[in-house]
Structure 1
Amino acid sequence: MAYIDLGLDETVNPGIRGLLRYRPATGRPLMELAEALLRGPSTLSRGERELVAAYVSDRNDCTYCHHSHGAFAAAQLEEGRPLVDQVCADPSTAPIPEKLRALLKIAAATQVSGHDVTPSLIEDARAAGATDAEIHDVVLIAAAFSMFNRYVDALGTLAPTDRTPYEAAAPRVVESGYLA
């Protein structure tokens, strides 16, 4: 049960879903941000961007966001759930392109502190083929998901540990996005 009374059934509205309904005035802009970051125009695929969100959420130990964005990434990546699990376990050994590996290093540094993103991380990403826009977007995804993770966990929202409900929601999110 959430630490505050959300006035709704948390089993139907777990994690951030209940918080968004509790405060629509803040919930709508948060979902607009997620929509722009994860589904808007980008040279990174939607699956790759969801993978960054899942990876950062895993590093932040946010069960709800890790499982939900992991499911959304898996649904959009050809390699599916096994790749998501490999990346979250150790991106240095996961079968991903060097550009994505370099961008995940930037995401990991951002998750710790903006000051941990160094010129050498940026140069490594550029050398692997990342554009400035991709670097920007990965930093913003990592920063935003660190905020989302803290929002969800700091208010003690329900976070099912079974992946089934997250996987069931994935086709709807993949098809309709975060604003539906």
Structure 2
Amino acid sequence: MAHIDLGLDEKAHPGINGPMRYRPETAKPLNELAEALLRAPHPTLSPGERELIAAYVSGLNECRFCCASHSAFAAAQLPAGTALVDQVHADPAGAPISGKLRALLRVAAAVREDGRKVTGELVEAARAEGATDLELHDTVLIAAAFCMYNRYVDGLATFAPDDPQGYALAAERIVRHGYGAS
């Protein structure tokens, strides 16, 4: 049970969905940010890669709902699907991803720990793998935003379902309609 009365059935509106229905005036800009960061056109990072960064940070933060949902969203948009997402969670250094994405995940992990942990060395290592300033910027912002989203969900102790099918259904909706769609 959430720490506050959200005025709804938490199982029908798990994770961030409950608080967003509770405060639609704050949900709107939060959904717009997620849409811009994760789904808007990007010259080089696919929506699946950006969702993978969000899922990875959420996993590091141990946010069950956000990790499960964004892992499903990433898997739905990456050719290697769930197997790749699971490999990244288990061993990002050994997962079959590009050197650039691996370096960006290291940057995201540093942001998650403390923004000041993003060192010149991490940035240069990402650049050496081909990362652009835009990709670095967006990785830092995705990681920072997901620290906020994770804390929003967990700080209110919202319900996180165990059934992966619910996350897969949400992934279909997000891929088709985006964030903010009811």
> Common fold, TM-score beyond 0.5?
yes
Per-residue CA deviation, residues 92-150 of structure 1 (Å, 9 max, x unaligned), is 00000000000000000000000100000000001100100000000000000010000
Q: Detail structure 1 runs of 4+ shifted over 3 Å in the superposition.
A: none
Deviation at 1:89, TM superposition (A): 1.1
Q: Which residue number corresponds to residue 87 of structure 1? A: 88
1:9 aligned partner: 9
**Letter of the structure 2 residue corresponding to residue 20 of structure 1:** M
Report the alpha carbon displacement of residue 41 of structure 1 after superposing the two structures with TM.
Answer: 2.1
Separation (CA, whole Å) in 1 of partners of 2:98 and 2:159: 35
The code of the aligned residue for 1:16 comes to: I
Query: What does residue 169 of structure 1 align with?
Result: 170
* Partner residue, 2:35: 35
State the Cα distance separating 1:164 from its structure 2 match: 1.5
What letter matches 2:105 in structure 1?
L
* Deviation of 1:161 (Å): 2.1
Q: Give the match's secondary structure for 1:15.
A: coil
**Counterpart-to-counterpart distance in 1, 2:93 and 2:135:** 19
Corresponding position of 1:128: 129
Cα distance in 2 between the residues matched to 1:144 and 1:161: 24
3-state DSSP of counterpart to 1:9: coil
Q: Return 5+ residue gaps in structure 2 as ranges.
A: none
Q: Give the counterpart letter for 1:137 in structure 2.
A: D
Correspondence list, 1:106-117, <5 A: 106-117=107-118
Equivalents in 1 of 2:103, 2:47: separation in Å? 17
The one-letter amino acid of 1:4's match is: I
Structure 1 Cα separation of the partners of residues 115 and 86 of structure 2? 25
CA-atom RMSD in angstroms: 0.6
Task: Output the CA distance in 2 between the equivalents of 1:163 and 1:35.
Answer: 23
Query: Could you list the per-position Cα deviations for residues 47-94 of structure 1 after superposition, in whole angstroms to 9, with x for gaps in the alignment?
Result: 000000000000000000000000000000000001001101110000
Return 89-98 or 156-165, whichever deviates more: 156-165
In structure 2, the residue matched to 1:157 is 158
Once residues 41 and 139 of structure 1 are traced to their aligned partners in structure 2, the CA distance between those partners, rounded to angstroms, is 18
Letter in structure 2 aligned against 1:127: A
Equivalent residue, structure 2, for 1:70: 71
Question: CA separation in 1, counterparts of 2:152 and 2:11?
Answer: 18
Hey, what does 2:20 align to over in structure 1?
20
Letter in 2 for 1:97: S
| Contiguous gaps of at least 5 residues in structure 1 | none
TM-score (norm 1): 0.99
The percent of aligned pairs where both chains have the same amino acid is 64
